Amino acid sequence: MVYFSFLLTLLILIIFQLTFLPIQYILIGIVLLVPILLIEKLKLNKRFIKRFARSGTGIGIAVSFSAFLIQTDLIIKISGLLISILGFYAFKFIRRTIQRENRCQSCPDYQENKICYGLRLEADAMRLYSEYASDLLQKDLKAVYTKRLEYDN
């Protein structure tokens, strides 16, 4: 989502030659990036919010980066580039540092190589499904093999 929205926004800004006042590039980039990076840092788990945050990050980086490409003022160019790079690396850093706890590693059953309660339910369901599917398929498979044996003889 970040890369897609970055490229799409950048293409739209360049193709339609949308320009802002020099300081607006930087302000738009910062205003979009800061809240979005906070959403990532807070680890909100709703898929819609995650998609919105990642799209907003790409848009914010693209607007800032477009200042580097479009503007002629050297200070605005450098500021746009710096905000783009810092925004991208801040996003990558936040994504990398979000620690997802592996609950299995801290489970006492895992330490003793046992199937824990949560996985036991899944294992039992898979076993029952396998038995059910085998019973359903057994008649069909037997008929196919019987036909082949008759055909081969």
Contacts of 1 (CB under 8 A, 6+ apart): 51, 54, 55, 58
Chain-wide mean pLDDT for the chain?
77
Burial class (CB in 10 A: 0-12, 13-18, 19+), 56: buried
pLDDT digits (tens, 9 = 90+) for 77-113: 888 888 888 888 888 877 766 544 455 666 777 677 7
> Does pLDDT of 63 surpass 60?
yes
Alpha-carbon span 95 to 116, nearest angstrom = 30
